Structure 1
Amino acid sequence: MSKKILILLLFCCFLGFSQELPPILKYGSNSYGAGNQNWMITQDNSQFVYFANNEGLLEFNGADWKLYPSPNETIIRSAKFINDRIYTGCYMEFGYWKRQKDGLLKYTSLSKPIIDKMLDDEQIWNIIDYDQWVIFQSLNQIFLYDTKTSKFKIITPKGAISRAFKANDAIYYQTYTEGLFEIENGEGKLISNDPIILKNKIVNIFSRNGGLLLQTQFNGFYTFFNNTPVKWHTEADADLSASSIYSSQILSDGSFALGSVSNGIFIISKEGKMLYHITQNKGLSNNTALSIFEDYDKNLWIGLDNGINCINLNSPVRSFSDDTGILGTVYTSILHDGKLFVGTNQGLFYKTYESPEDFKFINGTKGQVWTLYSHKGTLFCGHDSGTFIVNGNTVSSLFTISGTWKFETVPGREDLLLQGNYYGVSVLENKNGQWAFRNKISGFDYSSKYFEITKNLEVYVSHEYKGVFRFQLDSDLRKTDRFITYKYPTKGKNAGLTKFNGSIYYSYKYGIFKLDPKTKQFEKDTTLSRVFEKDSYTSGKLMVDNSNRLWFFTKNYINYFSYGKLSSQLKHNIIPIPSSLTNSMLGYENITQISNSIYLIGTTDGYYTINIDDLKFNKYKISMSSISVNKSNESLRYAAIAGHSDFKFADNNITFSYTVPEFNKYINAEYQYLLENYQETWSEWSNKPTVNFKNLPPGDYTFKVRAKIGNALSENTISYTFTILKPWYRTTMAVIIYIIIFLVMAYFINRAYKNYYHQQKEKLIEENNRLLEIKELETEQELMKIKNQQLEQDFESKNRELAASTMSLIKKNELLSMIKEDLKKNSEEGNRNIKSVITTINKNISEEDTWNIFKDAFNNADKDFLKKVKNLHPSLTPNDLRLCAYLRLNLSSKEIAPLLNISVRSVEIKRYRLRKKMDLSHEEGLVEYILSI
């Protein structure tokens, strides 16, 4: 029971809702890629913003973040842009950064020459510019740097320094023990040691009405005239006394921005009125503000203990964010009887318009509210449960049969209203000043989220899943005989239908179509549909405001069409707020005209308002942030961002990065580029702040880029000329070398041809001579051949003769051997005469004599054969040589035996022994070998 009471109290009181706040851009450490804490903020002439970060100097150009690590890897505590330098201070080090030709910053130390003058563990917490001087302040000393002479003056007070300040064209500082000092002639001069100053830490000093305004850590503000502090009371005194103020700045409109520890930021008007108290539960990323800075566009930058926020104080947009989830998604809103009503998926809420009070829940409306409609002083609420009439902070039920989408008046009948329900269309009637449900129109039972009625009582209904219907009502608005479903245009997701300037329009992803009242067909409206061609379709929801403006949403813009005062042509206006930031429910976008220029747009977590009269776009300048080149698959190399550049042929991958330093949450810059000699036309508009060209061919190029904020073009167009050089083998020098090489080659080729033909001529002559010589040699060879043949014939003749004589010797020896054998038989009988004959025969068949005769004849026939054999085989005996000679004559063993006077078996043994002495293999024949010698 107690829980129900608590929930009821929450709905009834609806406490804790934030006020309507300017837009806040949030940047976490993950998005900017550096440390959590940001101690000081500054901005240069290009409107780039810089932060003294835990990890270095952090740069933001509106599109990209870049971190420059601190020179000695310590926390950068202070940063200040002065002239063309960004001065920074950190632990035992201070100096400046200057932009180089390639767009990057380079650091130069100023503290190194005076490092011996710095105290141990000294850190530079603040930097101030004054005339030609740059003042670096630590907690113990103040260093005065003369930018003209590069010399230093050092002030070392007795007590610790809380902070140094610049106000009324003078430099002040406070010490904890002595009071407030002013720097004169390079020395500190005590101007007040009032107890108030001694007891309060001064966070900042401002110029005010010819005097000073001291802002303290815990006790708010004190005016300071004639060296006397006097309390300045403001609406924020109670909040300031309960907070620890750490940082502050006076804004361009004279108001004050104060950053606290653990209690967010306060913005106080110059009259002392509390304008905003923004904390973490009201949109801030963190409750501790270490630094505050107002930029050129009057945006308020907050360097937080964890992240960076940018508050668009000058934005025409104010947002109401429901972090509790109690309010929910806003589907409809209306200003009625001085009260702002918002219908959400949680019910109906209201508050007095432009009051600081919180929204209150109206009992009995829990659930989905689809529409709020005012007619003749009566406020109708279309709800998931039906229809309610709203009376102040109460409602009364009017219709409960089904949910109600929409209300429309009946032409010519102010006492009747049509309402589109979940199951068709029904009629409400006013009798005696009381509205009541009269009837449902029979014959049509489809959901009627969007519908319109014409003068002749024709009703057109858009059904998201079935398309567009048309049906004719009877005169009493009770029934329809039939309805027609349009085949064209077809159904579409998030489609919409509305009446604008007397004509009915249907919108879906393929365009916006206008009803022709004569043909009763929809025809595409080229003027309105062109919007979807230029920007991506998100929703066809169409809305018409009290000033007869037609509103609808696309991916990158909020669009509205209006008729000019001097012309009947429609004028297209855009608000460059993309759908990703509007955060509306697709198909249920809603915009309500609150006043002549202020419109309320519902979101999934609240709403925001736009003052279209204040929706002005400055003439922003686009700037080139970097130009990088690289070879394929190699790291980037930065090039000069001004002048003309020549790039090697291998460095033909070029990336251009550019930006418009615009820091408005709801305004996005778009870019368009052209690369002359490569593209014929400008590119399409894109919010991508970089473009890459790969493998550019050699040639001269001019890159141009321009920006657009809303409908306003940037006041400048960047042009950058560069040349992709030809490869070395295509340069002029290379061509000259090629020509020289060609000429030299032509000379040598000509010379080679001459030598070749000369050589050919010589060769031909030589060939002819050789042919003659060959012919002579052939003749000689013929003669030699004839001689050889003659010699061969002679040799063969002699061989035949030798063979014949050898055979005759064989025959003779055989005959004598036979005779000797016969005689031996007879000699056994002792006949002396026979023995004498045998002796004579033995002398005639003497082996030695036979050999000598044969040897002489053989040498005549085959000269030097025996010598050759003896040289080849020195181990051969005379008998072996004799056997070789007989084998040379191709005599068989049987024929050799008589010549050697031995048996055939003995000849075979001799042949075997001869093979072994000649070391012949088993496969090699002895006779063949001897014949081959």
Structure 2
Amino acid sequence: MVKHFFFILCLGISFFLGGQELPPIINYAPNEYGAENQNWAIAQSLDKRIFVANNKGLLEYNGAQWHLYPSPNETLMRSVWVEGPRVYTGCYMEFGYWERDLTGQLKYTSIAKKVKNGLKTDEEFWNILEIDGHIVFQSFDRLYTFNPATEEIRITESEEKISKIFKVNGSLWLQRMGQGIFQMTGGVQTPKETHDWVKDYEVVGIFPFAGGIRYLIKQLGFVQTSPKGLETCFLSVQNELSQALIYSGIHVRGGGYLVGTVRQGAYLIDEDGDVVHKINRKTALANNTVLSVFEGVSGGIWLGLDNGIGYYELQSAFSIFKDNQGNLGSVYAARPWQGNLYLGTNQGLFYRKLDTRDAFSFVPGTQGQVWFLDEVEGQLVCGHHNGTYLIDGGKAEHITRTAGSWKIMAVPNSPGLWLEGSYTGLKVLERKNDLWQVRNKIDGFDLSSRYFELYDGHIWVNHEYKGLFKLQISDDFSSVLENRAYTELANADSGLALYNDSLLYHAKSGLHVYDKKSGGFKMNEPFQSEFQEDTYISGKMISDRKAGALWLFGEQNLYRLRQGTTAEIPEITKIPLSEAFRNGIVGYESLVSIQAENQYLMGSRSGFVIMNSDKLEVKDFQVYIDRVYLLNDSKDVSKGETISKKGFTSLSWDKNNIGFTFYSPDYRKIPEAQYGYRLKGSFDNWSDWTTNSSVTFENLSPGKYQFELRAKIGNRVSTNTATMDFEIHPPWYAARIMFLIYGLMALVLARFIHQTYKGYYRKKQEQLIERNKRELDLIKAKNEKELIQMRNAKLREDFKGKSKELAASTLNMVRKNELLQKIRDELRSSNLTQEGIRSLLNIIETDLGRGDDWEMFKEAFDNVDREFLGKLQAKHPKLSPNDIRLCAYLRLNLSSKEIAPLFNISTRSVEIKRYRLRKKMQLDRDENLVKYIMDL
């Protein structure tokens, strides 16, 4: 699909010589259509596809995609003709036809190879025509007449060069250089014109007209038959055409001629010989050398260029004037008035006569920024940066010199009083003695008043940064009595307008209508519903009082509101005319009806656009599926394998990535075709409208699908819905027979699984029982362990207690014996009688010599260290009781000093006993006795 195109916005040769208002031109560059630069011939099929003979081969264009079919012998393709389903082409040493296969692609069949005795050396086929059901191929030396029904080929030789063939009134005419023009009937050539002009110069076109025949001659221009013979015609353009070097030409169905030249592009000439349009590089055509011209079935003109292809929409609803030289500037206002068309621009005020292509003239004294043009009380008023002007023909009367005049309005019921909105507020103008002057400035309001309206007894002023103001004015319009500010409505690029007795405010938040009952604004829901898919760019609203319409501007569309069946619901017309095409001054858009009600002029940044609303209506059209592709790894829809789009298509399971390209053969780009589609069986809802002419579906599941396609141009939807049915088969392992096998396998598998699970669960049950048993054993062992731990803890407590008892017993014994010894020693040293002392000493000695202390100690020691004495006796059976007793004391880690009282001996005697004990135990000198005993 074409991604880039240029709209022709052309002024003409110069500003002072006049300007051209031209329909759009679209340029297709070689890199867009994917072939070489030169394009020698153009044809169109009944389904509106365009075919172009290009240096590289046959180009096909359907309005969305270009397809190139290389020349069969890789030579330059010079000619193309479409007849029925066949596309006939001619190139160097080859001619034949192309037919479409089930996938939608063209396949070539050679006719040249069927010619007996072959072709002449270096033959090229420059022209192809259909005459009486036969196809005639023309080279410079021969005519080959092919009968499609019988495939018979008839050859007509010529001694002279055949420059070109023509179809005139249903018969074949040809030019034989040096001989003239001949008519060929039944193989017989009859001279038709032998004037030197048609003998010596190459004839480009032959056109019947009411008075005879017109010839378009390459070096001369137009000549025509007359009673006196051939004579020149169209003298006003004759010299220019001859110098431009004519190369091609056709008669346009609506009247007039389109002439392609080598040097100056194309000329559209009316039946009187006047130039209607010049289409060349100055008017945005890509190239000045026009090799071929063709009028499509819808009236569009195709130009085969030396470098590219041009499309000229002759019946376009739009004509565009471009100020290429910058003399006019950006158009802020326009107004038809008393037979003139006035334009207010950033450079001043200009005018010219209506219904002419004359140059615009400057109105002296108006240089600078013009803001508005309007009719007020039967006079044309111009609002200017320098104040207000009254316009009469080509003269301007400067009536006020205020700082910027935005708008002028007559005060109701007060003839001779005007209200002016300026940069610094509102002013009242008064006419006295046919002279206008500023009567007063309305005190109390000093803001810029670009948008203001008189409504409901108040002056409403919109300041796009500070908000909307409702002003109560004194009866004499001298001051503001009350000012209510709607600051919540403050919004950049907002606008205010009075339409159909309603006050409207338009901003990014929407179109609002003033409600008198509530004193506030409410949303206009019908307009918002239409506008929701567009993008807000400007709050400017233009009230067309003559047509009773209100115009609003979106990024993608124009909107016209008219009174509907009820006051609440206006009739809304959406015109698909984007801001990119309008090229308007955003926020300062201008639109005015000129001449007829259906013709409107819109100002642009570099000229203006004229719109004919009657031509906006789109005729019925259809949409088609172009190609169906099986996508490869690249997922590029144009690189996949094409498949049949006819009937019901069956695809294997692994071909489940599918792409569609589609088109509607409408070559206008304003408005551009949009497409909607759905894939029933997968995506049952229609897609959003899109200009993309292809779609892909990936990883589709097996099943039956139906692809449905529709198109929309402007507000009209295609009369048909294109469809394609296809099925993606399941893989072999998902076939029906496989499901029977899978069923049997499932039964066997179920039985196996049942048995397996049965054994498994039996084993699991046994494992569970075993695990439970182990767990019970573990619990039992754990309980026993805990019991043992409890017993051990009790034993440790008992041991601890016994140890304390042993320590206490030992300590008591030591202290008792020490006490008795001290008493004994004291008694020995006292003055008691010997008999008394002896009696006490006997008692003490008897007590010290008693062995029951040892027995008590031994019993306590056994409770604490039950195994020691047994181990000691087992290892040293020869130890005496005193030795065992000494070992017990040493086991308690008592010192010799502490042991001495227990034996009732001295410390020295204890050391001797320890020495003897070592010998009995046979310990080495280096071995510690106490450590040895402690380790037992």
Same-fold status (TM-score > 0.5): yes
SS in 2 for 1:721: strand
Give the aligned residue type for 1:398.
Answer: I
SS in 1 for 2:31: helix
SS in 2 for 1:196: helix
- Name 1:37's counterpart in structure 2: 38
Contact 1:168 1:212 in 2 (8 A): no
Provide the C-alpha distance between the structure 2 equivalents of 1:750 and 1:421, rounded to a whole number of angstroms: 96
Contact 1:302 1:309 in 2 (8 A): yes
- Name 1:427's counterpart in structure 2: 428
Residues 377 and 697 (structure 1), Cα distance of their counterparts in 2 relative to 1, 3 Å cut = same
Contact 2:112 2:118 in 1 (8 A): no
Q: Identify which of 724, 734, 740 aligns with 2:738.
A: 734
- Name 2:728's counterpart in structure 1: 724
Shift of 1:498: 0.6
TM-score, structure 2 as length reference: 0.75
Give the aligned residue type for 2:449.
Answer: S
SS in 2 for 1:197: helix
Provide the C-alpha distance between the structure 1 equivalents of 2:167 and 2:216, rounded to a whole number of angstroms: 13
SS in 2 for 1:293: strand
Residues 631 and 610 (structure 1), Cα distance of their counterparts in 2 relative to 1, 3 Å cut = same
Contact 1:54 1:74 in 2 (8 A): yes
- Name 2:335's counterpart in structure 1: 334
- Name 1:525's counterpart in structure 2: 524
Contact 2:15 2:325 in 1 (8 A): no
The aligned runs of 1:822-901 (5 Å cut-off) are: none
Please list every run of 5 or more consecutive structure 1 residues that lacks an aligned counterpart in the other structure.
1-9, 761-933
- Name 2:465's counterpart in structure 1: 465
Please list every run of 5 or more consecutive structure 2 residues that lacks an aligned counterpart in the other structure.
1-10, 764-936
Contact 2:346 2:369 in 1 (8 A): yes
Higher mean C-alpha displacement, 560-569 vs 39-48: 560-569
Higher mean C-alpha displacement, 82-91 vs 525-534: 525-534
Give the aligned residue type for 1:664.
Answer: R
The question of 1:666 aligning with 2:667 is answered no
- Name 1:67's counterpart in structure 2: 68
The question of 1:287 aligning with 2:291 is answered no
Residues 720 and 176 (structure 1), Cα distance of their counterparts in 2 relative to 1, 3 Å cut = same
Contact 2:80 2:87 in 1 (8 A): yes
Provide the C-alpha distance between the structure 1 equivalents of 2:633 and 2:730, rounded to a whole number of angstroms: 17
- Name 2:550's counterpart in structure 1: 550
Q: What are the superposed Cα offsets for residues 404-441 of structure 1, whole Å, 9 maximum, x if unpaired?
A: 22223323223222222222222222222222223322
The question of 1:149 aligning with 2:150 is answered yes
Contact 1:701 1:721 in 2 (8 A): yes
Residues 446 and 656 (structure 1), Cα distance of their counterparts in 2 relative to 1, 3 Å cut = farther
The aligned runs of 1:74-85 (5 Å cut-off) are: 74-85=75-86
Shift of 1:248: 0.8
Higher mean C-alpha displacement, 220-229 vs 168-177: 220-229
The aligned runs of 1:91-130 (5 Å cut-off) are: 91-114=92-115, 117-130=118-131
Residues 543 and 615 (structure 1), Cα distance of their counterparts in 2 relative to 1, 3 Å cut = same
Shift of 1:753: 12
Contact 1:557 1:576 in 2 (8 A): yes
SS in 2 for 1:700: strand
- Name 1:580's counterpart in structure 2: 580
- Name 2:298's counterpart in structure 1: 297
- Name 2:398's counterpart in structure 1: 397
Provide the C-alpha distance between the structure 2 equivalents of 1:340 and 1:169, rounded to a whole number of angstroms: 47
Aligned residue pairs, count? 744
The aligned runs of 1:136-535 (5 Å cut-off) are: 136-209=137-210, 211-224=212-225, 229-233=230-234, 235-456=236-457, 458-488=458-488, 490-535=489-534
Provide the C-alpha distance between the structure 2 equivalents of 1:556 and 1:307, rounded to a whole number of angstroms: 29
Shift of 1:161: 1.7
Residues 670 and 753 (structure 1), Cα distance of their counterparts in 2 relative to 1, 3 Å cut = closer
Residues 678 and 22 (structure 1), Cα distance of their counterparts in 2 relative to 1, 3 Å cut = same
Provide the C-alpha distance between the structure 2 equivalents of 1:647 and 1:242, rounded to a whole number of angstroms: 61
Residues 752 and 557 (structure 1), Cα distance of their counterparts in 2 relative to 1, 3 Å cut = closer
Shift of 1:358: 0.6
Shift of 1:665: 3.8
Contact 2:211 2:225 in 1 (8 A): no
- Name 1:654's counterpart in structure 2: 658
Shift of 1:624: 1.2
Q: What are the superposed Cα offsets for residues 167-211 of structure 1, whole Å, 9 maximum, x if unpaired?
A: 122111112222222223335444443323213321111233495
- Give the superposed CA RMSD: 2.9
> Equivalent pairs: percent with the same residue?
36
Contact 2:376 2:408 in 1 (8 A): no
Contact 1:387 1:404 in 2 (8 A): yes
Provide the C-alpha distance between the structure 2 equivalents of 1:311 and 1:534, rounded to a whole number of angstroms: 30
TM-score, structure 1 as length reference: 0.75
Provide the C-alpha distance between the structure 1 equivalents of 2:41 and 2:525, rounded to a whole number of angstroms: 53
SS in 1 for 2:199: helix
Residues 183 and 672 (structure 1), Cα distance of their counterparts in 2 relative to 1, 3 Å cut = same
- Name 1:539's counterpart in structure 2: 538
Residues 185 and 440 (structure 1), Cα distance of their counterparts in 2 relative to 1, 3 Å cut = same
SS in 2 for 1:236: helix
Residues 346 and 132 (structure 1), Cα distance of their counterparts in 2 relative to 1, 3 Å cut = same
- Name 1:908's counterpart in structure 2: none
Contact 1:589 1:602 in 2 (8 A): yes
SS in 2 for 1:77: strand
Residues 154 and 478 (structure 1), Cα distance of their counterparts in 2 relative to 1, 3 Å cut = same
- Name 1:600's counterpart in structure 2: 601
Give the aligned residue type for 1:88.
Answer: T
Shift of 1:746: 6.7
Shift of 1:658: 1.8
The question of 1:22 aligning with 2:23 is answered yes
Q: What are the superposed Cα offsets for residues 878-921 of structure 1, whole Å, 9 maximum, x if unpaired?
A: xxxxxxxxxxxxxxxxxxxxxxxxxxxxxxxxxxxxxxxxxxxx
Higher mean C-alpha displacement, 570-579 vs 720-729: 720-729
Give the aligned residue type for 1:674.
Answer: R
The question of 1:640 aligning with 2:644 is answered yes
SS in 1 for 2:416: strand
Shift of 1:591: 0.7
Contact 1:24 1:310 in 2 (8 A): yes
Provide the C-alpha distance between the structure 1 equivalents of 2:566 and 2:498, rounded to a whole number of angstroms: 23
Give the aligned residue type for 1:570.
Answer: P
Residues 423 and 751 (structure 1), Cα distance of their counterparts in 2 relative to 1, 3 Å cut = closer
Shift of 1:743: 5.3
Shift of 1:227: 12
Higher mean C-alpha displacement, 40-49 vs 205-214: 205-214
Higher mean C-alpha displacement, 144-153 vs 81-90: 144-153
Provide the C-alpha distance between the structure 2 equivalents of 1:661 and 1:644, rounded to a whole number of angstroms: 25
- Name 1:628's counterpart in structure 2: 629
Shift of 1:560: 0.4
Residues 614 and 191 (structure 1), Cα distance of their counterparts in 2 relative to 1, 3 Å cut = closer
Residues 447 and 638 (structure 1), Cα distance of their counterparts in 2 relative to 1, 3 Å cut = farther
